[in-house]
Structure 1
């Protein structure tokens, strides 16, 4: 089903949900890439649709194709921590060093697991200087964890927050490993993906690589002059320690994004950005966080409430960084993003995580909605409001579910 000027899409929708297919087609009309969209309501798949761009990549694209989810992966890692907390195996209020003793070094003895989940640990990069970023082997888990254990935070943990693009995954993942004895990817596979039959991995198995579809990241890296101007706009200079750490994090993210083009990179466990899967599995995962899906529910209502309670609204940016007045800073619960102007999700009460380029997973407990979206044309960078591709189908989902509160 398509409308005039819309993309040709495939898939199906339950009765009453057909307008979401039209909205998805309209949203993808100006996108040269392929995409998937899946929606669950109260444990039932009500929308399962995709569009395949002509000549996009060397492999056919369909509902079972999988791609890199970028920071959507952070939500997967958060699920693991929430399950361990729910089972009494860890307490997010505990110091990280209770589970990972080496982490107490260099001023981090009081850092809590909650600080890791809310990007307030003061460790936005594996190194404090962009010149050293090339020397970080991001595929060597033990080496990365050792760097973080030895690192000195850029601000007092818990006193401010700033996004941890890659370190979030190793910080949270190492806690999971210390508690369970399993890597975060192995724990996710056994305790989350297997019970639900998900095509979703933190570390893609070799036998699934034939389903992988490469994504396109348009644009070019900012020039040194552009970086300097951007730093000045938020109160930093290239010589500030915090600025060097932020620049290092950008270099690290660019390096790992490039690594995902290799088999070795896709197999590595990068739980801040390297999750691989499809929209159908993302939606199914989030549906099982807020209700039963084929008899499986992962989180209790109480755990969901704790996970989506705002944790960073009162926290400032770390000095001397200042957030421009016109921006809408990220908001976090315990590992999940919360709605804001640039990421409205399904309205207040939603939780989930977006990824650089446009992939998105989210849930809205009150309506029983869970949504997964993936794309191959990775154009969204979060700086200019919501991804325009999200808006038509998000509104259509809102209407189909009978929600009356505004999104924008």
Structure 2
């Protein structure tokens, strides 16, 4: 039976519906949503399970959830929109737009470096807490003042928690709007997409509770002190329970606190898959989308310790790391802590989105659960 899953989908996605239902019944999922947009048509829009750990509150059509690092895909879209307008150049130094950032040897760090995790500034010098991230002026001034942890542009080191502050401050300097305001007025509202960085108090009742993992991907006690990995993981140390706090929801954290569901994420990121225009709303042009696929790094990431390929703003497929994404033309993607995933496939006009509240154990990029859905979706479309 699949009556625990709601929404609509073409019959070819029956396996995807069944997988979601099975995972909810088994407890592998608490609540989740899956969406597939093909050539601008939402051919699958499914959801089910529960919005709370106690499994008392159903996951509904308008449930939203903290999507962790899947947020970065929207933050990158905001920057690319400014590029498309001619207001921002990814090959210019960050300091062109944010002069204070030139301090301590960062004068040559380019905008593309902070968008592709190669800037050498993958976190904050410690001590630095999650609560410190909520203070925009304090957190961005700290980033401007510190030195890079490796030679910028030579390797990627995942900008886990601070990418939204780095790119967001450039967006603010160029547009005059905070990142969350830019995303709301320039992306979510024009597209009619239920996406926010943070969440409004009036939406708290429909925000799903994050259900933390039992096992981290890293045993933090084994990390080499003062390595980029150690510095990033402790600057600040992530706590999955933080996403359930009111202060987190009110903050402007473009790396980690987007609130959405699969449908709204597919709506926003289909911008890339559909050539830059969604239902007549133009956010990007084809030449700007081409920038995404210019490879910036390809090798072992200094923070995550796995092989990664980065374009400008987005991950590019790397079979050794995410085997469920096919080698089939131009594809870009990224995921969130615990297993959420958004995939853009412009050559097929395809966007795949999966957002959930139960975090899978040991996830670095894509969970086993996400991989089964992605594989089944591509099989259905074969």
Under a length normalisation based on structure 2, what TM-score does the superposition of the two structures give? 0.90
| Residue 13 (str. 1) matches residue 6 (str. 2) | no
Matches for 1:345-384 after TM superposition, within 5 Å: 346-348=325-327, 349-383=330-364
Deviations along 1:4-25, whole A, 9 cap, x unmatched?
Answer: xxx8312211354444323433
Matches for 1:154-303 after TM superposition, within 5 Å: 154-219=149-214, 226-229=219-222, 231=223, 237-238=224-225, 240=226, 242=228, 244-249=230-235, 251=237, 253-254=238-239, 257-291=240-274, 292-303=277-288
User: Which of the pair has more CA radius of gyration?
Assistant: 1
CA distance in 1, matches of 2:180, 2:335: 19
Deviations along 1:141-183, whole A, 9 cap, x unmatched?
Answer: 0100000011011112112221111111100000000000101
CA distance in 2, matches of 1:53, 1:246: 33
Matches for 1:91-106 after TM superposition, within 5 Å: 91-106=89-104
Across the two proteins, how many residue pairs are aligned to each other? 375
| Residue 302 (structure 1) shift | 2.2
| Residue 339 (structure 1) shift | 1.6
Structure 2, unpaired ranges of 5+ = none
SS of aligned partner of 1:77: helix
SS of aligned partner of 1:260: helix
SS of aligned partner of 1:175: helix
Deviations along 1:205-245, whole A, 9 cap, x unmatched?
Answer: 2222221111111226699xx4343x3xxxxx32x454652
Structure 1, unpaired ranges of 5+ = 232-236, 403-408
Say if 1:243 and 1:187 are closer, same or farther in 2 by CA, change over 3 A: closer
Say if 1:400 and 1:247 are closer, same or farther in 2 by CA, change over 3 A: closer
CA RMSD of aligned residues (A): 2.5
Richer in strand (by share): 2
| Residue 137 (str. 1) matches residue 132 (str. 2) | yes
CA distance in 2, matches of 1:222, 1:23: 24
SS of aligned partner of 2:354: strand
CA distance in 2, matches of 1:379, 1:19: 21
| Residue 296 (structure 1) shift | 2.4
User: Are the equivalent residues in 2 in contact too, given 1:20–1:47 (CA < 8 A)?
Assistant: no
| Residue 98 (structure 1) shift | 0.4
| Residue 40 (str. 1) matches residue 44 (str. 2) | no
